């Protein structure tokens, strides 16, 4: 180490300290980007590090070489510091960095040094370096000499894999772990439902579920990348995946309802604890066990439970269950995580935590009245539990803030849960930034994470609900945004985030990404509505299942359990050729929208093809986008072809019929393509011996992907008949 280098190191350390106070004083010059945004960057004098310069890696301290990305993995282990060396220093007593996940990365013309007090910090330093090396290679520029001092603001940064209605192939999960590690995510909560092959209760696992061994191997793979896998096994409510089996019917609170267990039946705990034991075995060495516990309806009704519910209230039953499962967790060395909505409901404050209709004054009043109720229950709130406060909107509702305050003041540990798909569709996601409390998309993730950081809450879970079962790729922009903001809550603007995301994920620059996405999204909105008289595919009143009452805690209305309802009555009728033009007048608004979509089709599809062709990485995302775009574009095409048939002009009408037939064929091709792209990563159908897990979610209504095209199946069936009648 030469004198100047020593001096610069000393000065650099001094500057690093100063920069703790004034973060973001300097930025890496374009095109260099680290995602998530590092806490502090100081540019140093001297030429930068040329791509391809690094040859070897040296480890100083007792630790295993960290798992690294494609570029750093090529370096051989060296012994002495020469030009082209990356030196990793584990200095357990180093107090210059406020976290074992933090690191100082120093880059100069011919060498790199990463120092940390923890192995996680060295791993994250390598991830940052890998990103810079990627940019140096992609843009053929030297990395500027610099010192980066970095550490996360939130210490638990997790994302959610929800396997409720689908399962991806194992290799997709392995790839996902690598991808999450790049962005310094350190937790994955896997909601297994019936996708784990439980050994102690073998009925529960679906035929193609993941074996305990396979999941344990994934858990160890993740741990090597500093990601902890947490199992989520739903218990008291949300239990259809268990209670659907006739063999467990005796454990249901109500014999006809598969939603909830009876909390006072000991058999409930025998089954749940068996599932927990298997889930723990499948995730060896992990700290947490997520026990769900939200949306528990339909308890306190059986002869066993009713007296207790009448005497002590409904919540006493949930809390009894919570106490039992928390005891189990403690005995098994796990910290339970629990969705917090049921106690808040009992306290009368739940609505204030998410609804924008509740005013500040109403929220204050609700909490004033609710706190004594919650305090009274406090002795029954297990102390070893993490209370997960979820909010999928802007999170600034006064009631939500009261809830965080209450947990903090009562010494209960809270974490926050945000969502990558609050809107929950299966095509292009909404991303509305300028809509006040009704904003959607990554702005919501940032908002709640910033609130958590201000309140010193150290944990964040970015949920990815499978209710509409979009392809997992649709979640990634949100996952990576959660990584960005939980590491650096105030680092980047949303625009800066999008640029960083596009560069890191794809090696692309798309300056008008937001408006481009908005155009794609507009086509999705039309697709959802295209064939419905009112509302859209996602509206409750249009639910295309043999059950009129969609709330999961309500029985089907009497006589409607197996009703053969004619769902075509929910769809628009076809043109009546006796009255040419009347259909077009009636549906003018959607036909105008269809025309706009059709006009934009070539431009947008060409752009998606172009992005696919120029993307340096993760092209699959654009293949999927293109398949979804072509699929949703069949709706405006069909509407316009029908409009053409709605004409008094014989020639127009004739070519309209031809276009209708052509669009039917195009739809089949586009749909095949969606299935083919999906099947590259996920199972697109259940085996024949699968016992359906039906409830009100659209994605649970079929055993293959065809739940997505239920309205097309019905509407195109109408068209086939209609075409025959025109002959």
Binding site for Zn ion (CB under 5 A): 253, 262, 264, 302, 304-305
State the nearest-atom distance from the C-beta of 253 to Zn ion, in Å. 5
170: left (phi over 0), alpha (psi -120 to 50) or beta: alpha
CA distance 439 to 41: 32
Helices 619-632 and 650-679 pack at an angle, to 10 degrees, of 150
Shortest Cβ 321–Zn ion spacing (Å)? 10
Report the residue number, 107 or 260, with the smaller CB distance to Zn ion.
260
Question: In angstroms, what is the minimal distance from the CB of 323 to Zn ion?
Answer: 16
Q: At its nearest, how many Å lie between Zn ion and the CB of residue 314?
A: 11
State in angstroms the smallest separation of the CB of 218 from Zn ion. Answer: 36
Tokens of 104: 């100082």
Write the CA distances from 521 to 427, 539, 605, integer angstroms: 8, 17, 13
Find out whether 200 and 171 touch, Cβ atoms under 8 Å.
no
Distance of alpha carbon 679 from alpha carbon 13, whole angstroms: 51
Nearest distance from residue 554's CB to Zn ion, in Å?
18
CB of 322 to Zn ion, least distance (A): 15
Q: Identify which of residues 305 and 417 has a Cβ nearer to Zn ion in the complex.
A: 305
Q: What would the two tokens of residue 659 be?
A: 């276009």
Residue 303 or 436 with smaller CB distance to Zn ion: 303
End-to-end CA, the chain: 89
Per residue, the 3-state secondary structure of 279-303, as one string, reads: HHHHCCCCCEEECCCCCCCCCCCCC
Query: Among residues 308 and 714, whose Cβ is nearest to Zn ion?
Result: 308
CA of 438: how far to CAs of 82, 357, 396, in Å? 57, 11, 11
Query: What is the DSSP secondary structure assignment for residue 473, as one 8-state letter?
Result: G
What 3-state DSSP class applies to 415?
strand
Length of the chain: 727
Of 640, 694, 635, 618, whose CA–CA distance to 670 is shortest? Answer: 635
| Closer CB to Zn ion, 266 or 589, in the complex | 266
**Rounded to an integer, what is the distance from CA 396 to the centroid of its chain?**
21
Q: What burial letters (b/e) apply to 419-457, b meaning 16+ CB within 10 Å? A: bbbbbbbbbbbbbbeeeeeebbbbbbbbbbbbbbbeeeb
Nearer CB in complex with Zn ion: 175/295: 295
Alpha helices in 283-359 (DSSP H): 306-312, 314-331, 341-346
CB 443 within 8 A of CB 497: no
- Strand 111-116 relative to strand 85-90, pairing: parallel
Q: What are phi and psi of 596, to 5 degrees?
A: -60, -45
Which CB sits closer to Zn ion, 253 or 431? 253
Q: Which residues contact 2 (CB under 8 A, 6 or more apart)?
A: none
Name which of 310 and 713 has its Cβ closer to Zn ion: 310
- The phi and psi torsions of 347 (rounded to 5 degrees) equal -75, -5
The least distance separating Zn ion from the CB of residue 243, rounded to whole angstroms, comes to 13
CA contacts within 13 A on the Cβ side of 716: 17
Distance in Å, CB of 304 to Zn ion, minimum: 4
């Amino acid at each position: 180490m030469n004198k100047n280098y020593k001096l610069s190191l000393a000065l650099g350390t001094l500057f690093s300290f100063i920069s703790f106070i004034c973060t973001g004083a300097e930025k890496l010059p374009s095109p260099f980007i680290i995602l998530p945004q590092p806490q502090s960057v100081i540019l140093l004098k001297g030429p930068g590090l040329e791509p391809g310069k690094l040859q070897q890696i040296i480890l100083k301290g007792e630790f295993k070489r960290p798992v690294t990305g494609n570029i750093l993995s090529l370096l051989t282990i060296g012994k002495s510091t020469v030009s082209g060396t990356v030196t990793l220093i584990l200095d357990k007593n180093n107090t210059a960095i406020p976290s074992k996940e933090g690191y100082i990365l120093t880059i100069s013309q011919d060498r790199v040094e990463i120092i940390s007090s923890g192995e996680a910090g060295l791993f994250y330093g390598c991830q940052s370096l890998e990103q810079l090396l990627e940019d140096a290679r992609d843009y053929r520029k030297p990395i500027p000499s610099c010192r980066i001092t970095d550490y996360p603001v939130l210490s638990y940064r997790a994302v959610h894999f929800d396997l409720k209605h689908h399962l991806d192939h194992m290799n997709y999960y392995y790839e996902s772990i690598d991808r999450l590690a790049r962005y310094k995510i350190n937790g994955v909560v896997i909601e297994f439902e019936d996708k784990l092959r439980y050994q102690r209760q073998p009925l529960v696992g679906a035929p193609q579920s993941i074996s305990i061994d396979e999941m344990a191997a994934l858990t160890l793979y993740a741990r090597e990348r500093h990601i902890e896998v947490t199992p989520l096994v739903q218990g008291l409510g949300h239990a259809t995946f268990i209670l659907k089996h006739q063999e467990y019917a005796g454990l249901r609170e109500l014999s006809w309802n598969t939603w909830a267990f009876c909390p006072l039946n000991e058999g409930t705990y025998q089954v749940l604890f068996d599932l927990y034991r298997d889930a723990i075995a499948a995730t060896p060495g992990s700290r947490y066990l997520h026990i769900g516990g939200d949306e528990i309806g339909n308890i306190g009704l059986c002869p066993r439970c009713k007296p207790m519910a009448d005497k002590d209230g409904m919540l006493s039953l949930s809390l009894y269950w919570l106490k039992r499962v928390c005891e189990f967790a403690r005995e098994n060395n796990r910290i339970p995580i629990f969705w917090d909505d049921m106690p808040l409901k009992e306290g009368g404050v739940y609505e204030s935590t998410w609804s924008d209709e509740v005013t500040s004054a109403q929220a204050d009043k609700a909490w004033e009245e609710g706190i004594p109720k919650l305090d009274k229950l406090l002795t029954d709130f297990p102390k070893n539990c993490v209370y997960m406060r979820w909010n999928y909107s802007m999170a600034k509702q006064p009631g939500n803030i009261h809830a965080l305050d209450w947990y903090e003041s009562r010494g209960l540990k809270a974490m926050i849960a945000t969502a990558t798909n609050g809107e929950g569709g299966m095509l292009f996601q909404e991303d509305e930034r300028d809509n006040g409390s009704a904003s959607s998309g990554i702005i919501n993730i940032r908002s709640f994470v910033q609130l958590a950081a201000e309140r010193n809450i150290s944990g964040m879970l970015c949920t990815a609900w499978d209710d509409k079962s979009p392809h997992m790729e649709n979640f990634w922009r949100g996952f990576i945004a959660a990584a960005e903001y939980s590491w650096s809550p105030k680092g980047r603007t949303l625009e800066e985030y999008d640029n960083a995301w596009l560069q890191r994920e794809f090696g692309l620059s798309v300056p008008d990404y937001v408006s481009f996405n908005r155009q794609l999204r507009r086509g999705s909105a039309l697709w959802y509505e295209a064939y419905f008289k009112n509302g859209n595919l996602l509206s409750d009143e249009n639910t295309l299942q043999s059950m009129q009452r969609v709330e999961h805690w309500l029985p089907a209305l009497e006589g409607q359990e197996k009703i053969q309802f004619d769902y075509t009555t929910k769809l628009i009728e076809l043109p009546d050729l006796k009255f040419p033009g009347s259909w077009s007048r009636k549906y003018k608004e959607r036909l105008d929208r269809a025309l706009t979509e059709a006009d934009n089709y070539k431009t947008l599809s060409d752009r998606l093809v172009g992005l696919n062709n120029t993307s340096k990485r993760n092209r699959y995302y654009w293949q999927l986008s293109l398949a979804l775009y072509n699929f949703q574009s069949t709706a405006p095409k069909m509407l316009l072809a029908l409009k053409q048939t709605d004409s008094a002009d014989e020639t127009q009408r004739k070519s309209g019929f031809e276009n209708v037939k052509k669009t039917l064929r195009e739809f089949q091709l586009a749909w095949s393509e969606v299935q083919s792209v999906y099947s590259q990563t996920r199972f697109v159908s259940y085996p024949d011996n699968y016992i359906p897990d039906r409830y009100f979610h659209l994605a649970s209504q079929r055993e293959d992907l065809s739940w997505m095209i239920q309205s097309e199946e019905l509407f195109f069936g109408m068209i086939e008949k209609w075409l025959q009648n025109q002959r």
